[in-house]
Chains A and B, each alone.
Chain A
Amino acid sequence: MVESRKTTSPSAGPESGVGAHRPRTLSDKVWERHLVHQADGEPDLLFIDLHLVHEVTSPQAFDGLRLAGRTVRHPELTVATADHNVPTTDIDKPVADPVSARQLEVLSANCAEFGITCYPMGHANQGIVHIIGPELGLTQPGMTIVCGDSHTSTHGAFGALAFGIGTSEVEHVLATQTLPQMRLETMAVEVEGDPPADVTAKDIVLAIIGIIGTSGGMGHVIEYRGPAIRALSMEGRMTMCNMSIEAGARAGMIAPDDTTFSYLEGRPHAPKGKLWERALDDWRTLATDDGAVFDKSVTLDASAISPHVTWGTNPAQVVPIDGHVPDPSSFADPAEREAAARALQYMGLTAGTALRDVAVDTVFIGSCTNSRIEDLRAAAAVLDGRHVRTGLRALVVPGSHPVKAQAEAEGLDKVFVAAGFEWREPGCSMCLAMNPDKLAVGERCASTSNRNFEGRQGRGGRTHLVSPAVAAATAVAGHFATSADLP
Chain B
Amino acid sequence: MKPVTVVTGRAVPLDRSDVDTDQIIPSDWLKRVERTGFGAGLFSEWRDDRAFVLNQPEFAGASILVAGPNFGTGSSREHAVWALLDYGFEAVVSPRFADIFRNNCTKQGLLPVEVEPALGRSLLDAVVADPSLELTIDVARGTVEAPAAGLGGSFPLDEFTRERFLNGWDDIGLTLRYGDAITAYERDRRPWMPTVTA
B90 surroundings in chain A (CB, below 8 A) = none
- CA gap between A336 and B190 in the complex, in Å: 47
Shortest CB-to-CB span from A25 to chain B, Å, is 18
- Among listed A196-204, A211-219, A376-384, A478-486, interface-contacting one: A211-219
Question: Which B145-188 residues have C-beta < 8 A from chain A?
Answer: 158-160, 171-172, 174-176, 178, 181-182, 185-186
* B98:A218 contact, CB within 8 angstroms: yes
Interface residue from B16, B174, B191, B198 paired with A117 (Cβ < 8 Å): B198
- CA gap between A178 and B32 in the complex, in Å: 27
* A314:B76 contact, CB within 8 angstroms: no
**Bitwise interface map of A from 2 to 46 toward B, beta carbon under 8 Å scored 1, else 0:** 000000000000000000000000000000000011000111010
* B172:A68 contact, CB within 8 angstroms: yes
* B196:A171 contact, CB within 8 angstroms: no
- Among listed B3-11, B66-74, B125-133, interface-contacting one: B66-74
Shortest CB-to-CB span from A105 to chain B, Å, is 9
* A36:B181 contact, CB within 8 angstroms: yes
B194 surroundings in chain A (CB, below 8 A) = 49-50, 137-138, 140, 269-270
- CA gap between A106 and B33 in the complex, in Å: 8
* B31:A103 contact, CB within 8 angstroms: yes
* B18:A339 contact, CB within 8 angstroms: yes
Interface residue from A59, A214, A219 paired with B18 (Cβ < 8 Å): A214
* A100:B182 contact, CB within 8 angstroms: no
- CA gap between A369 and B26 in the complex, in Å: 20
* A459:B45 contact, CB within 8 angstroms: yes
B56 surroundings in chain A (CB, below 8 A) = none
Number of interface residues of A (CB under 8 A): 90
- CA gap between A269 and B76 in the complex, in Å: 27
**Bitwise interface map of A from 340 to 384 toward B, beta carbon under 8 Å scored 1, else 0:** 001000000000000000000000000000000000000000000
Task: Say yes or no: is B136 at the interface (Cβ < 8 Å to chain A).
Answer: no
- CA gap between A116 and B76 in the complex, in Å: 22
Task: Say yes or no: is A410 at the interface (Cβ < 8 Å to chain B).
Answer: no
Q: A42-B160, A314-B73, A335-B17 are in contact. Are A47 and B182 (CB under 8 A)?
A: yes
- CA gap between A248 and B185 in the complex, in Å: 31
Task: Say yes or no: is B23 at the interface (Cβ < 8 Å to chain A).
Answer: yes
B171 surroundings in chain A (CB, below 8 A) = 168, 172, 180
A149 surroundings in chain B (CB, below 8 A) = 75-76
Task: Say yes or no: is A99 at the interface (Cβ < 8 Å to chain B).
Answer: yes
Q: Which of A36, A175, A182 has the most CB of B within 10 A?
A: A36
Nearest CB in chain B to that of A175: its residue: B172
Task: Say yes or no: is A290 at the interface (Cβ < 8 Å to chain B).
Answer: no
B32 surroundings in chain A (CB, below 8 A) = 99, 103
B190 surroundings in chain A (CB, below 8 A) = 142, 279, 282
Task: Say yes or no: is A278 at the interface (Cβ < 8 Å to chain B).
Answer: yes
Interface residue from A45, A49, A282, A339 paired with B181 (Cβ < 8 Å): A45
A-B pairs with CB below 8 Å: how many? Answer: 206
* A41:B160 contact, CB within 8 angstroms: yes
Q: Which of B73, B96, B171, B178 has the most CB of A within 10 A?
A: B73
- CA gap between A42 and B159 in the complex, in Å: 8
* A49:B193 contact, CB within 8 angstroms: yes
Question: Which A65-106 residues have C-beta < 8 A from chain B?
Answer: 68, 70, 73, 75-79, 84-85, 97, 99-100, 102-103, 106
Q: A36-B185, A111-B198, A164-B76 are in contact. Are A102 and B33 (CB under 8 A)?
A: yes
* B108:A168 contact, CB within 8 angstroms: yes
Nearest CB in chain A to that of B96: its residue: A215
Shortest CB-to-CB span from B116 to chain A, Å, is 14
* B45:A166 contact, CB within 8 angstroms: no
Shortest CB-to-CB span from A123 to chain B, Å, is 13
* B198:A176 contact, CB within 8 angstroms: no
Nearest CB in chain A to that of B35: its residue: A60
Shortest CB-to-CB span from A419 to chain B, Å, is 29
- Among listed A186-194, A255-263, A447-455, A468-476, interface-contacting one: A447-455
Task: Say yes or no: is A462 at the interface (Cβ < 8 Å to chain B).
Answer: no
* A57:B78 contact, CB within 8 angstroms: yes
Shortest CB-to-CB span from B120 to chain A, Å, is 10
- CA gap between A339 and B15 in the complex, in Å: 10
- CA gap between A143 and B195 in the complex, in Å: 12
- CA gap between A430 and B137 in the complex, in Å: 41
A168 surroundings in chain B (CB, below 8 A) = 78, 104, 107-108, 171
B60 surroundings in chain A (CB, below 8 A) = none
**Bitwise interface map of A from 141 to 181 toward B, beta carbon under 8 Å scored 1, else 0:** 01100001110000000000001111111011001111010
Q: A76-B196, A150-B76 are in contact. Are A218 and B176 (CB under 8 A)?
A: no
* B192:A57 contact, CB within 8 angstroms: no
- CA gap between A245 and B74 in the complex, in Å: 7
- CA gap between A168 and B174 in the complex, in Å: 14
- CA gap between A217 and B72 in the complex, in Å: 14
**Bitwise interface map of B from 16 to 37 toward A, beta carbon under 8 Å scored 1, else 0:** 1110101100111011111100
Question: Which B100-120 residues have C-beta < 8 A from chain A?
Answer: 100, 103-104, 107-108
* A219:B104 contact, CB within 8 angstroms: no
Nearest CB in chain A to that of B31: its residue: A99
* A150:B17 contact, CB within 8 angstroms: no
Q: A99-B32, A100-B31 are in contact. Are A335 and B99 (CB under 8 A)?
A: no
* A335:B68 contact, CB within 8 angstroms: yes
Task: Please give the residue numbers on chain B whose beta carbons come within 8 Å of chain A beta carbons, in ascending order.
Answer: 15-18, 20, 22-23, 26-28, 30-35, 45, 68-70, 73-79, 81, 96, 98-100, 103-104, 107-108, 158-160, 171-172, 174-176, 178, 181-182, 185-186, 189-198
26 contacts between A and B (CB under 8 A): A43-B158, A45-B178, A47-B182, A49-B193, A49-B194, A73-B182, A76-B195, A102-B33, A103-B32, A106-B33, A117-B198, A137-B194, A138-B196, A150-B75, A164-B76, A167-B79, A169-B103, A215-B69, A219-B99, A269-B194, A269-B196, A275-B191, A338-B17, A455-B22, A459-B26, A459-B45
Ordered nearest first, which 7 A-B pairs have the shortest CB separation? A168-B107, A271-B192, A166-B78, A166-B104, A59-B33, A164-B76, A269-B194
